[in-house]
Structure 1
Amino acid sequence: MPNSARKLISSDKAEAYDSFFEVFSHLYKELKALGSKKPAETLSESKVKIVNRLLEDMRKIMEEEPEYKYLDMLDSEMLPQYSDAILILSQYEGALKGFKERYFGYDEYKHKHQWNIG
């Protein structure tokens, strides 16, 4: 799809995405590894706090996106099992993929991939 036909986002949202994407990827990978060993084990309160802090930042840039209504936080009152946390993070992974597909693309004039800032 040509760059001109793509949707535009603010530079703040693009920078926010870039700042948390790698952190999210590593966190998700780590939780999946821990969860594969003991999926029914409960996350500690400190792990839930760390994950929710990241999810909250992600939700801020996703507020106007169609996937937003599916992006839940981890329940800090009733600590989730690893399998529940992995399921929630998989929803974020899908939402982030859709976000990037909408707003990141190849600029044929600059001959490079970049965020479509507007």
Structure 2
Amino acid sequence: MPLLNSMHAEFKELAKKKPEAAVSKNEIKIVNRLLEKVREVLIEEDSIGFLDILDEDDVPQTSDVTLILLQYVAAMKGFYYKYYGYVSEEGHI
């Protein structure tokens, strides 16, 4: 899922520079909008119980967002491998 991979890569770079920086409410809304769509795809998968949506009132740090996005990337890789049988060497789905 290119959007998920891109968003994860972007937050990963931000977290390297400023891991404790707060994420804006607008950014949280954008991330959650994507995560909600991914959750629709994964609704029947066991991994769904481990996938959280960001809490707008909690004001997460960039490192928190990176971790959550990484969990979604891993879940989508598992989904893709389970149903399509291939994940590239770079781990892209």
Whether 2:4 is the aligned partner of 1:44: answer no
Gaps spanning 5+ residues in structure 2: where?
87-93
Q: RMSD over aligned Cα, in angstroms?
A: 1.1
Whether 2:26 is the aligned partner of 1:33: answer no
Match of 2:40 in 1: 60
Count of residue pairs brought into register by the alignment? 86
Pairing of 1:11-30 with structure 2 (within 5 A)? 21-30=1-10
TM-score of the aligned structures, taking structure 1 as reference length: 0.70
Name the CA distance, whole Å, in 1 between partners of 2:14 and 2:64.
Answer: 13
Whether 2:67 is the aligned partner of 1:87: answer yes
Deviations 1:42-90 (A, max 9, x none): 1011100000000000001111101000110011111100111111111
Shift of 1:105: 3.4
Runs of 4+ in 1 over 6 A off after TM superposition: none
Larger Rg: 1
Name the CA distance, whole Å, in 2 between partners of 1:91 and 1:26.
Answer: 14
Q: Percent identity, aligned pairs only? A: 44
Shift of 1:38: 0.4
TM-score of the aligned structures, taking structure 2 as reference length: 0.88
